[in-house]
Structures are given as C-alpha cells and as structure tokens.
Amino acid sequence: MYEPDPGSHERDAVSPEAGTEEQQAERALRPRTLDDFVGQERVREQLSLVLHSAQRRGSAPDHVLMSGPPGLGKTTLAMIIAGELNAPLRITSGPAIERSGDLAAVLSTLQEGEVLFLDEIHRMARPAEEMLYVAMEDFRVDVMVGKGPGATAIPLDIAPFTLVGATTRAGLLPAPLRDRFGFTAQMDFYDPEELERILHRSSGLLDAPMDAEAGAEIARRSRGTPRIANRLLRRVRDYAEVRGDGTLTLDTARAALDLYEVDASGLDRLDRAILDSLMTKFRGGPVGLSTLAVAVGEESETVEAVAEPFLVRSGFLARTPRGRVATPLAWNHMGLTPPPDAAFGAGVEADTGTGASVTP
C-alpha cells in the first residue's frame, strides 16, 4: 500500500535531480573527453565540428546552448568542451547572478579563450540578460556609472570567450538570448543500450565488477537518464557488497532494485500508486488530476510535475481533455485486466512536453 511521506516529495531512487552528496559521487564518474561521452551521437558530432573548426581557425568557438531534462549530461558536456579546447573553465549559474554587476564582475575578468559555463541560464536576472547579449555579440560590457538621469555607460572591452549555457527550460529563454548561441545541443533521453555502456564504464571506475545481464537490468530501470543509471548502480553495488560477494549479477541487481522499489520499467512507488488508483478506483479513467491526486494522497502539483512526465513519456498514462487515462501498456504492466469499456485514452492529446496543456 502506498503511503505518502508527508512533507517530503524526495524520490531518491528515480529522481532526475542530484542531491548534494550525489554531486560528489558524480564527479568521479564524469567522462572527460568527447570520446568517453556515450550516446547523443548527433550532438557529439556537431559539437566536435564546432570545436575543432574553431581550433583550426585559432579563434574562440561559437557560444553553445545545451538544453534538456536534468541528468542527461549538460554539465558534463560543458566541462568536456573546456577540456577539448584546452581552455580554462569558469563556472557560474543563473541564480548566482542577481544583478548585472554580478555578471560584469565575471565577464570583465575572463581570460582570452576562456569557457564560461552558465548553468540554469534561464534563472538569470533580466538586466543581466541584456548585458550578456552585448558581451556575447561584441565582447563588450557597458558598465553603468552613477545613478538616475546622470548615469552613463562606459564601454569596456572584454576578452573573446565562449559561453556555454545550460537549461532544462529552453522555452523560458528570451528569443534574443537564444539567437545569440551559434549552436544549440538538444539533449535527448538515452536508450537502454547506451545506458548499458555508461553503466559498464562506471562499474569499471567504481571497481565494482558487473556482468552483462546486470547491466541490462539496471539500464532498463533507469528512465533513460545517466544520472539515475549511475545512482542505481551505486545502490546495487552496496547491496552486492553487503549481501553478496561484491559482484553485480542479475540476481543482486533485481533484489537491490526491488528493495528500493524501482520496478522493471523504472517506476517507483508513487508512479505505481497512481496507476493502481487509476485502474482500481476509476476503471482506468478518464479522471481529473486533482481527484487522482487525492486518491493517492499527494498534492496535484507533485503528481503532475514529479510523476506524470515519465508516465506519459513511457506510454503508461495519457492526458486527455477529460482527464488522465491508463493505457493498455499500463494495464499490462500492473498485471490488471481492463474493464471491457475502458477508455484507453481515445482522443488522446499529443503531449507536447510543456506540461502546460490539459489540467482538468
């Protein structure tokens, strides 16, 4: 039986975000070169061209924007870019830039050719955004001196640099900012075979021998996300060390992941509770979001923002104008038989991934 944990929507095992401790663990597993970076073939090839042609010309490459969901390798790629260029890397983030002065301080101290990584770029303060446009285009910042009507802008040249921006919400970037990036890398979820390769690489680095079946099993449960794959790998490794001989086998992988309630398709307790309610209490839907949320004892926002994106993306849940509907795949996955008149999401609206559309 699903019991919500009041006050905490932590979903340790399958959350795409990294906790503070996890960031430490991740550092050790980060690939350092483009060759070590698994998957995202198109992005890798395009990026490699951008970087190496700039190197040939002896100039700083175009600014690069990386967009995509959490845990897919944006920070990793930013570091690889600096590494491939053999350039120093400066790291800051949108929330750290509250005033344009914060940005001016960073920009005016960049060295020639330096890579500036601006994480969560969509969260930067508006006035700083405008300063950034000019810096990106003309390698110049206008420093404001004085206040009010007497204020003057003093132009200051800065060293040519390469901006690498990362965002999980490209849609929130103002068009003039987006347009100033010469190259946008759109990161996609990984397929299980790519995740397996990542897992084998990580198991080597962690000195935790893993057989092929275990790798495939962990990959299947990782929701297309390298961060989740590496996290599940560490959980299975812990299990294998304490309950086994340290080798990661299919059995240890299954036992460990069952213990952490990550099922064969990567669904966790909340995901399963939602599907279960939808099927057993509402005949598979359609049912409104808020009704469904009450049925599982969670806030609507949690259901919508935390659980639904993956359920929809993997085809377990459909969002229709009349409410949420369990798909045949979901009935099958939960081992339940749909009633003969089940709706099955007829007239399903295509999910645009914006999460903004239907919330009856």
Ligand X SMILES: Nc1ncnc2c1ncn2[C@@H]1O[C@H](COP(=O)(O)OP(=O)(O)OP(=O)(O)O)[C@@H](O)[C@H]1O
Catalytic positions, written as ranges? 74-75, 119, 168, 227
**CB of 128 closer than 8 Å to CB of 103:** yes
Q: Which is nearer to ligand X, 73 or 165 (CB)?
A: 73
**CB of 122 closer than 8 Å to CB of 169:** yes
How far is Cα 302 from Cα 188, in angstroms, rounded to an integer? 23
Q: Which residues bind Mg ion (CB under 5 A)?
A: 74-75
Q: Is 31 in the site for ligand X (CB under 6 A)?
A: yes
139 is in an annotated binding site: yes
Site for ligand X in 38-67 (CB under 6 A): 38-40
Site for ligand X in 257-276 (CB under 6 A): none
Q: Is 76 in the site for ligand X (CB under 6 A)?
A: yes
Residue 163-202 contact track with ligand X, rule CB under 6 A, x = bound: -----x-----------------------------x----
- Helix (H, G, I), strand (E, B), or coil: what is residue 171? helix
How far is Cα 170 from Cα 46, in angstroms, rounded to an integer? 19
Q: List the one residue out of 266, 265, 217, 267 whose CA is nearest residue 239.
A: 217
**CB of 199 closer than 8 Å to CB of 219:** yes
From the list ligand X, Mg ion, none, partner contacted by residue 30 (C-beta under 5 to 8 A by kind): ligand X
The token duo for 99 is 């005033």
Q: Which is nearer to ligand X, 180 or 227 (CB)?
A: 227
C-alpha neighbours within 13 Å on the C-beta side of residue 146: 7
- What DSSP string describes 90-153? EEEEGGG--SHHHHHHHHTTPPTT-EEEEETGGGS-HHHHHHHHHHHHHSEEEEEESSGGG-EE
- Whether the ω angle into residue 176 lies within 30 degrees of 0, i.e. cis, is no
Q: Which is nearer to ligand X, 72 or 256 (CB)?
A: 72
> Least CB distance from residue 230 to ligand X, whole Å?
6
Q: Which is nearer to ligand X, 38 or 330 (CB)?
A: 38
137 is in an annotated binding site: yes
Kindly tell me which residue out of 15, 63, 65, 73 binds ligand X, with binding defined by CB under 6 A.
73
Q: Is 282 in the site for ligand X (CB under 6 A)?
A: no
DSSP bridge pairs for 85: none
74 is in an annotated binding site: yes
> Least CB distance from residue 75 to ligand X, whole Å?
3
DSSP bridge pairs for 92: 118
Q: Which is nearer to ligand X, 31 or 266 (CB)?
A: 31
- CA angle at 60 for the pair 55 and 65, rounded to the nearest 5°: 110
C-alpha neighbours within 13 Å on the C-beta side of residue 69: 20
DSSP bridge pairs for 119: 93
Site for ligand X in 229-258 (CB under 6 A): 230
30 is in an annotated binding site: yes
Give contact residues for ligand X (rule: CB under 6 A): 17-18, 26, 29-31, 37-40, 70-76, 168, 198, 226-227, 230
Numbered residues of the known binding site for ATP? 29-30, 71, 74-76, 137-139, 180, 190, 227
Numbered residues of the known binding site for DNA? 319, 324
Numbered residues of the known binding site for Mg(2+)? 75
